[in-house]
């Protein structure tokens, strides 16, 4: 009798688990169907600002008459008094400061390529420094405030409007603390991106609202081109930043084996 009861309980548990699985996970066929409806943005994308970068690390000259490219450094943002103070402090300390990586939002306008991996559940954006953004597109809401904390790459939720990926990102650690060329938005900033293909370009329209540092929304559009010369993503850490400072101008520090840091 006891054995029969145990078997019945086990069977009930299995049935319950199976049912939960069916509700929580799409069938393979449904997932293939969901994939088929999504855009596909293969390749290694570089901000147009850095297209055709030479071995010296600077981009090749753009053709004469090319329209100026917008940047994410925030230099032209409508800063309020707090924002101006932060930007002034950033300008004072930027020279010779070492970075830890690119972080968000600068990894979207950086001298390094990224890939965009689109799945039904999330979009992953990964760069050559191993920096990754997880943009959840499975319909979940933004986590509750008490479930988030500021990070270098923030917390992102996205959804599709046709072939445009719309992303909301919050809880981004002040970008300047991670990368010295980044804007000094506060951790209350809210970033909205609209990302889509336009011909052979990946276009990202950014709008940032920050009640702490801005008088109003700030927008910038960043375009990306495919770098055809990469055959795979090789990730390396940010381990050898030899930028130093001397008399207010940056310089190259000696190598580590000769007394450099």
Judged by phi (left if over 0) then psi (alpha if -120 to 50, else beta), residue 259 lies in left
238 near another protein, judged by CB under 8 A: yes
30 near another protein, judged by CB under 8 A: no
54 near another protein, judged by CB under 8 A: yes
Judged by phi (left if over 0) then psi (alpha if -120 to 50, else beta), residue 195 lies in beta
42 near another protein, judged by CB under 8 A: no
Q: Are 104 and 86 in contact (CB under 8 A)?
A: no
246 near another protein, judged by CB under 8 A: yes
Query: Around Cβ 57, how many Cβ atoms within 10 Å?
Result: 8
Q: Are 136 and 157 in contact (CB under 8 A)?
A: yes
Q: What is the DSSP letter of 224?
A: E
Nearer to another protein, 50 or 79 (CB): 50
Nearer to another protein, 157 or 222 (CB): 222
132 near another protein, judged by CB under 8 A: no
94 near another protein, judged by CB under 8 A: yes
Query: Around Cβ 2, how many Cβ atoms within 10 Å?
Result: 6
- Residues near another protein (CB under 8 A): 49-50, 52-62, 94-95, 99, 102, 110-113, 128-129, 179-181, 227, 229-230, 234, 236-243, 246-247, 249-255, 257-258
């Amino acid at each position: 009798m006891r054995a029969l009861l145990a078997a019945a309980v086990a069977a009930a548990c299995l049935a319950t688990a199976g049912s939960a699985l069916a509700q929580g996970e799409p069938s393979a066929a449904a997932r293939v169907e969901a994939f088929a409806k999504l855009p596909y943005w293969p390749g290694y994308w570089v901000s147009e600002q850095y297209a055709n970068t030479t071995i010296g690390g600077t981009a090749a000259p753009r053709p004469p008459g090319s329209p100026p490219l917008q940047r994410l450094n925030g230099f032209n943002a409508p800063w309020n008094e707090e924002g101006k103070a932060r930007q002034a402090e950033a300008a004072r300390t930027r020279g010779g400061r070492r970075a830890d990586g690119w972080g968000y939002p600068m990894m979207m306008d950086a001298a390094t390529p990224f890939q965009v991996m689109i799945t039904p559940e999330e979009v992953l954006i990964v760069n050559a420094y191993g920096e990754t953004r997880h943009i959840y597109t499975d319909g979940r809401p933004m986590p509750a405030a008490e479930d988030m904390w500021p990070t270098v790459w923030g917390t992102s939720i996205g959804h599709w409007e046709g072939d445009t990926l719309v992303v909301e990102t919050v809880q981004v650690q002040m970008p300047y603390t991670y990368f010295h060329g980044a804007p000094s938005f506060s951790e209350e900033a809210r970033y909205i991106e609209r990302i889509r293909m336009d011909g052979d370009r990946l276009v990202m329209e950014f709008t940032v609202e920050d009640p702490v540092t801005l008088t109003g929304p700030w927008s910038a559009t960043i375009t990306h081109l495919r770098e055809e010369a990469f055959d795979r993503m090789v990730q390396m850490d940010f381990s050898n930043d030899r930028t130093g400072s001397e008399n207010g101008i940056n310089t190259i520090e000696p190598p580590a084996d000769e007394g450099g840091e």
